[in-house]
């Protein structure tokens, strides 16, 4: 399935797309290559999808690049992934700034190796002024850990008398997460045919639409991304309401019909 960008109704585009980039290892194995080669090809898909998202006018894209659980992979693969990330951050820095893309990062960044973290900090600083799109990399990220950290912080504030537990609402909780300031994802795409959420943005994806693509991440490029956006545009997001209620408000299908 393909979709021409001119056929995508801008009003039905999601504001925020979150992606679980899965299948690099299988892509490599299918070709008799080492897993790291799959991650390298996956980095090319990252580049392609980021550029396409910007071209189409999405304002937020979040990529699950390394989970808390990924630290448990063989040491050589973890090292290679960190090296690849470092190279990507250095190589793409100027291009991200030129395209007006602001890099953002969530996760336990202190766990990243020093050299990867310093490239990350440089790219964050070099793009801090950009306003065209926010590209968030989830690195050493876990949704439960993020929720726990926010809960600890809110409890500490309550213990100091700075927060009334009875007044705690969703907006305050959202603002305590690392994703504070980002809109909730409208669409989550996971590649490789796996159909699970894997500890990704658990709080934030309460109302996201999910698309599970059978393609392996290195095979997921501009055309496949546009096809997913077209599928999203055809969905009706009801936020607990009835289809008739939404028809009465006559908002377009897809991302901008908020409840």
Active site amino acids: 22, 70
Residue selected from 88, 220, 225, 232 as contacting ligand FPP according to rule CB under 6 A: 88
Separation CA 142–CA 151 (nearest Å): 14
Separation CA 48–CA 196 (nearest Å): 24
57: left (phi > 0), else alpha (psi -120 to 50), else beta?
Answer: left
**53 near ligand FPP (CB under 6 A):** no
Residue selected from 12, 49, 58, 85 as contacting ligand FPP according to rule CB under 6 A: 85
Nearer to ligand FPP, 40 or 186 (CB): 40
Binding segment toward ligand FPP, per CB under 6 A, in 24-32, 106-114, 143-151, 167-175: 24-32
How many Cα atoms sit within 13 Å of 52 on the Cβ side? 23
Residue 141: CB atoms within 10 Å = 27
Site size toward ligand FPP (CB under 6 A) is 20
Nearer to ligand FPP, 96 or 208 (CB): 96
**107 near ligand FPP (CB under 6 A):** no
The answer to whether the Cα torsion of 116, 73, 71, 174 is positive or negative is positive
Separation CA 92–CA 98 (nearest Å): 10
| Closest distance of CB 131 from ligand FPP, Å | 21
Contact positions vs ligand FPP (CB under 6 A): 21-26, 39, 42-43, 46, 63, 65, 70, 81, 84-85, 88, 137, 192, 217
């Amino acid at each position: 399935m393909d979709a021409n960008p001119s056929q995508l109704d801008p009003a039905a585009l999601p504001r925020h797309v979150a992606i679980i980039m899965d299948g690099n290892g299988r892509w490599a194995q299918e070709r008799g290559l080492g897993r790291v080669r799959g991650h390298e090809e996956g980095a090319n898909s990252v580049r392609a999808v980021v550029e396409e998202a910007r071209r189409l006018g999405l304002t937020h894209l979040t990529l699950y690049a390394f989970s808390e659980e990924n630290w448990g992979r063989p040491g050589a693969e973890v090292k290679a992934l960190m090296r690849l990330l470092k190279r990507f951050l250095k190589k793409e820095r100027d291009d991200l700034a030129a395209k007006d893309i602001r890099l953002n990062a969530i996760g336990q960044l202190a766990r990243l190796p020093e050299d990867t973290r310093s490239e990350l900090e440089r790219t964050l600083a070099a793009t801090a002024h950009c306003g065209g799109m926010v590209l968030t990399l989830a690195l050493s990220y876990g949704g439960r850990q993020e929720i726990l950290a926010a809960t600890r912080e809110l409890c500490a504030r309550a213990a100091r008398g700075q927060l009334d537990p009875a007044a705690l609402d969703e907006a305050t909780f959202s603002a305590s997460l690392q994703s504070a300031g980002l809109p909730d994802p409208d669409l989550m795409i996971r590649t490789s045919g796996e159909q699970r959420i894997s500890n990704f943005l658990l709080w934030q994806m309460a109302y996201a639409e999910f698309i599970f693509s059978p393609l392996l991440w290195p095979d997921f490029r501009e055309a496949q991304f546009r096809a997913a956006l077209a599928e999203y545009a055809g969905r009706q997001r009801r936020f607990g309401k009835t289809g008739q209620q939404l028809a009465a408000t006559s908002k377009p299908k897809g991302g901008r019909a908020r409840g």
